[in-house]
Amino acid sequence: MANPFDLTGKVAIVTGGNKGLGQGIAIALAEAGADIAVVSTRSETETVDKVKALGRKAIHIAADLTSTEPVARILETTLKELGGLDILVNNAGMIRRNDSVDFTEADWDAVIDLNLKSVFFLSQAAGKHFIAQGRGKIINIASMLSFQGGIRVPSYTASKSGLAGVTKLLANEWAAKGVNINAIAPGYMATDNTAALQADEARNKAILDRIPAARWGEPSDMGGAAVFLASSASDYVNGAIIPVDGGWLAR
């Protein structure tokens, strides 16, 4: 029996792939055989170098997804440089923290534009390509706040709740066309976005006390779910939001 998790010959775009969760996902997909287009605003080549060290092709595409302007270029560059597109991972995101009574319109718009608006329009562009070729995988990076309310992050909660809805909507429209759209909802992960929480002794303890696994997640913990959703092993999985949270939601 062929390995259903094998991604040999596949091409993936990973946004926000230069560090953190995006880097962990990109490396896992490459380990399974995929070539990777790393999209980020930063020009560091660490992820590209790691992917190439695994014997896979990799390119970096500099793009600021706080607007939809780079969307067409990202698709065109990937198709030209890597020869195809099979997987899109919408990982790029940001968070802004403030009490809701003081939250600014600028912080609202910045988060919604990156976390939700650009995700939809990049998915739309990739979706047109996937529908035309009769297959494709889109993996959105949701959050515990796709299920819960959180505190002091109103635009982030709105964006990740909206992303869960968009994931289901696109699955409803495109599943019959051979396109799988699903999401991974990471729990508390040790990344730059959570540095302030990790440094806050009281919040850090409260978080760890709630996680059955008793530790923060690492970017590499996202790899298994990402490979599953990118591979033929998930061909009958549509509109799912898979928690990778150390058991957080079970408490």
Under a CB-based contact definition with an 8 Å cutoff, are residues 142 and 167 in contact? Answer: yes
166 within domain boundaries: yes
- Domain annotation covers residue 1: no
The answer to whether residue 4 sits within a structural domain is no
Average pLDDT over residues 140-144: 97
Domain count, the chain: 1
Residue 68 lies in a domain: yes
Q: What was the pLDDT predicted at 224?
A: 98
pLDDT at 112 over 60: yes
The whole-model pTM stands at 0.96
> Is 91 inside a domain boundary?
yes
Active site residues: 156
- Residues of the domain holding 125: 11-191+219-244
Rounded to 10 degrees, the C-alpha dihedral 9/56/17/64 comes to: -80
**Domain of 62: which CATH number?**
3.40.50.720
pLDDT single digits (tens) 200-236: 999 999 999 999 999 999 999 999 999 999 999 999 9
Residue 128 in domain: yes
Tell me if 138 is assigned to some domain.
yes
Q: Which residues of 103-123 are buried (b: 16+ CB within 10 A; e: fewer)?
A: beeebbeebbbbbbbbbbebb
Residue 199 in domain: no
Q: Is the pLDDT of residue 1 over 90?
A: no
- Share of residues in the chain with pLDDT > 90 (%): 95
